[in-house]
Amino acid sequence: MAMTKASFPGARWLEAMTSGNPMEAFAAYQIDSWQRAVLFWDVLRKRGNDYVAHERAGLPPVLTFDHELVVDGATLPRPTNYTLLHVVPPPGCVEDPAKRPFVVIDPRAGHGPGIGGMKQESQVGVALRAGHAVYFVSFRPEPEPGQTLADIAATEAHFLRTVVERHPECETKPAVIGNCQGGWALMLVAAYAPELQSVVSISGAPLSYWAGVRGTNPMRYSGGLLGGSWPATFLGDLGHGRFDGAWLVSNFEQLDPANTLWKKPYNLYRKVDTEEPRFLAFERWWGGHVLLNTEEMRAIVNELFVGNKLSRGRIVAQDGTPIDLRAVRAPIVVICSKGDNITPPQQALNWILDLYDDVDEIRACEQTIIYTVHDSVGHLGIFVSAKVALKEHAEFVSSVDHIEGLPPGLYEMVIEEAHEEDSGTEREHEAYVVRFEARTLDDIRAFDDGRADEEPFEAVARFAEIGEGVYETMVRPWVRAMATPASAAFMREMHPDRLQRRLLSDQNPWMHSVAATAAWVRANRTAVGDENVFVQAEKQMGAAVEQALDGWRDARDQAQERTFEAIWTNPAVRALVGAEAPFADFKKPRASHRRLLRRWVELKLELLRQRCRQGGFPEAVLRIILAGVAAAEGVDARGVRAARRVWRSEGLFEGMSRAELLRIFKEEAFLLQFDRAYAMATLPDLLPTRAERERAMRIIDEMQSWRPEMLPELAAVRREVAEILGLEGGKTTAVDEAADPAAQ
């Protein structure tokens, strides 16, 4: 086919060159690009100065909100470098003493604290605007001597008890948010001390580290390619007992070389007139590297990254108690993203598959697990993106009461934009509509491409134990003997991430001329727009560079994956480390647990059957509502608000404490989930008089009238209840007809 003028690849560029004066366009571009280069290097100079100032100040949290110290972990019996901060409400925000407090736990994964509150539109910000007291778990850059993960868990549990004590007027325990590493640390605390939280939210937290999709999640192969966990111990020993968090940051940067080497710096260069504040704010946190004790890092690698022990119940608390995530009593909300290359959805969610065979097991354990998956945002965007804060985190905060009242089971939190017809509630101005839709374990499995690719990691974990033993016995004594505080400090200062910031700061005399030139450029700035043909060519070149680096990354990742599989699927290697039957040692306890769980359900049902006839009017209405929720396979947050509005006007649960209401709620939900026929058949015992039965049906009808688009299944439940109670002969009411087209 002949190539036309319009299809010629450089047609638009050629047309732009031949129309107008190309020399003028080139001259303007030359001036603009030179000025941008000067300003670019000046921003890097400011980044270096910020780094030096932040380090001299002791790497305080980069919170944009004022805060005050509540508890210093260094003063506890087992000292740690963690602190509990109370975030001071900014003007316009007032703490409501009746609302549950929020606690945000920031990740300690190489960076300093503050990412959960570094913007107004953040996890901290949305909770403050909703009237909640907010606390922030921070940490200093240097760990306390001998500090362990168990000590940190004990410290965080102490912090939660302190928050509870500071809010005696609040009926509910704190809602706790854990980001990334702070998420799995929170799950440790929630499993060990389940009485300290009302709702738990974990964002981008890798609880099932072996999981992933072939060809897309290369970070999980690091342990197998590096020979296990001994390199982390080796680096910590070279650091004289301190592991430098800058190495973790380097690992994150290597995942996306196009972003590290080109996209981020080029984005600053291209938008240097407007990008400076955002760039410097982020880099202040990104460059604030902290230290971990060698034994802390060793435990993190052995127990999570390589050993994957948390989801398999192999971590033991300081007092010998096994950490079992099935012991968490608070509802668990998991926030993750398909665009996250550090904690993909499989690593955030597959722990559910590790622990349970079906949703009935989740219900039998009386757990409520909710997840929401963003389509595209990256790992850091889960914590710092204003869009995520105003959507996922804001809806979590606004729906936390509804989440606590969901029946046990597995749900997806579906967040959609509100439309004009989504009115008639207490929040008519709401931007989003939230639904909690019932899901099964197959929905979790659908995020993965199967779990056979996790089997080689069992061999890696066992080899890591061998390698750690060899290093401990034969190499470690020599390394520790050679390392000194001075050599450790020198090694940290020579790390490329630190060195580049110092060299580009005012500590380098050559950068003073950059500052002076940049001041002149700002006073005489002549920018050109995107219509300039050479700017367009620059963008195309930038896109080509990014594409080339992405291609190199993909080739590298594929090579790493193939190398990993070639080594760790080799039968000889697996036999050598004793990993011929992966997961066999975990399935036995699971089978035993299932037998115990079935017996527990039987015993609890016997008790509830005896008690379910002894309730009264509130229990009956609650049972009918829960039957409707089960029939609809989920609940809409607007419907919950409508129901609460009705039962408040009716004084349905007046005089009943929140704890008592939740107890009754859970008992009724348990009975309905495991013996629905008995629960429905005994409704007449709870409503002995016709007046009570008619009042109960009137309340149900009023709740439905607030949500006229209720599903047909709810109308069917209403007819079933009417027949059981002997009302109207089970005939359809006007509300039923509006909800059920088949009844018309």
Residue range 671-704, pLDDT digits in tens: 888 888 888 888 888 888 888 888 888 877 776 6
Give me 215's structure tokens. 């060809």
Each residue's pLDDT tens digit, 422-435? 544 444 446 777 88
Q: Is the pLDDT of residue 244 over 60?
A: yes
Question: Using CA atoms, how far apart are residues 675 and 364, in angstroms rounded to an integer?
Answer: 12
Q: Are 637 and 399 in contact (CB under 8 A)?
A: yes
Band the pLDDT of 11: cuts 50, 70, 90: low
Place of tokens 């197998």: 224
What's phi and psi for 289, nearest 5 deg? Answer: -80, 135
E-state strands within 15-165: 67-72, 82-87, 102-105, 134-139
H/E run at residue 636 = strand 634-636
What's phi and psi for 61, nearest 5 deg? Answer: -60, 145
DSSP string, 521-561: HHHT-----TTSHHHHHHHHHHHHHHHHHHHHHHHHHHHHH
Give me 182's structure tokens. 């702070």
Band the pLDDT of 588: cuts 50, 70, 90: very low
Question: Using CA atoms, how far apart are residues 487 and 257, in angstroms rounded to an integer?
Answer: 30
CB burial class (10 A; 0-12, 13-18, 19+) of residue 644?
middle
Band the pLDDT of 598: cuts 50, 70, 90: confident
User: Three-state SS across 3-27?
Assistant: CCCCCCCCHHHHHHHHCCCHHHHHH
Helix, strand or coil, per DSSP, at residue 726: coil
Question: Using CA atoms, how far apart are residues 388 and 203, in angstroms rounded to an integer?
Answer: 11
Each residue's pLDDT tens digit, 499-522? 999 999 999 999 999 999 999 999
Q: Is the pLDDT of residue 16 over 70?
A: no
Q: Is the pLDDT of residue 209 over 70?
A: yes
Distances (CA, A) of 484 to 231, 246, 499: 18, 19, 20
Average pLDDT, the chain: 84
Q: Is the pLDDT of residue 50 over 80?
A: yes
Q: Is the pLDDT of residue 295 over 80?
A: yes
Question: Using CA atoms, how far apart are residues 184 and 716, in angstroms rounded to an integer?
Answer: 42
H/E run at residue 635 = strand 634-636
Q: What is the pLDDT of residue 2?
A: 46
Question: Using CA atoms, how far apart are residues 715 and 733, in angstroms rounded to an integer?
Answer: 9
Each residue's pLDDT tens digit, 446-485? 999 888 888 888 888 888 888 889 999 999 999 999 999 9
Band the pLDDT of 257: cuts 50, 70, 90: very high
Give me 250's structure tokens. 């380097």
CATH architecture label of 67-210+308-450: 3-Layer(aba) Sandwich (3.40)
Between these two residues, 431 and 254, which has the higher pLDDT value?
254
Q: Are 573 and 459 in contact (CB under 8 A)?
A: yes
Alpha-helix residue ranges (DSSP H) falling in 179-256: 181-192, 222-226, 230-238, 246-255
Question: Using CA atoms, how far apart are residues 531 and 281, in angstroms rounded to an integer?
Answer: 30
The domain spans of the chain are 67-210+308-450, 612-743
Give me 381's structure tokens. 């965007």
Band the pLDDT of 332: cuts 50, 70, 90: very high
Give percent above pLDDT 70 in the chain.
88
Closest listed residue to residue 643, CA positions, set 628, 659, 663: 628
Q: Are 653 and 622 in contact (CB under 8 A)?
A: no
Report the range out of 43-47, 394-398, 426-430, 660-664 with the highest average pLDDT.
43-47
